[in-house]
Amino acid sequence: MTNKGELVKNLQDNYFNNIIKNKEHVEINLINGLILKGKLVKFDNFSILLDFNGNLNLVYKHSISHILKKNKK
């Protein structure tokens, strides 16, 4: 049986891999109110690499409130 931690990781992995595969733009809302926009490049267990106009931004997952797909290619 899958434990809760594995389910959450698989859900995140599937969501992020789908965004990367489809080259979708995202809007990342941070817990401090800041909004980051760009394309998801890579991710790991603790962080997300976001490309905004050729500038790479490393965003730690613990600082994220939510992520919205913008469906802009």
Looking at the domain that runs over 4-69, which CATH code has it been given?
Answer: 2.30.30.100
Transcribe 21-58 into DSSP letters. Answer: HTT-EEEEEETTS-EEEEEEEEE-SSEEEEEETTEEEE
pLDDT top residue among 6 and 38: 38
11-49: b or e for each residue (b if 16 or more CB lie within 10 Å)? eeeeebeebeeeeebbebeeeeeeebebbbeebeeeebe
What pLDDT, in 10s, does the model give residues 17-65? 999 999 999 999 999 999 999 999 999 999 999 999 999 999 999 999 9
pLDDT at 71: 72
Q: How far is 28 from 63, CA to CA, in rounded Å? A: 10
What pLDDT, in 10s, does the model give residues 55-67? 999 999 999 999 9
Q: How far is 73 from 58, CA to CA, in rounded Å? A: 21
Question: For the chain, which residues make up each domain, given as ranges?
Answer: 4-69
pLDDT band at 3; cut points 50, 70, 90: confident
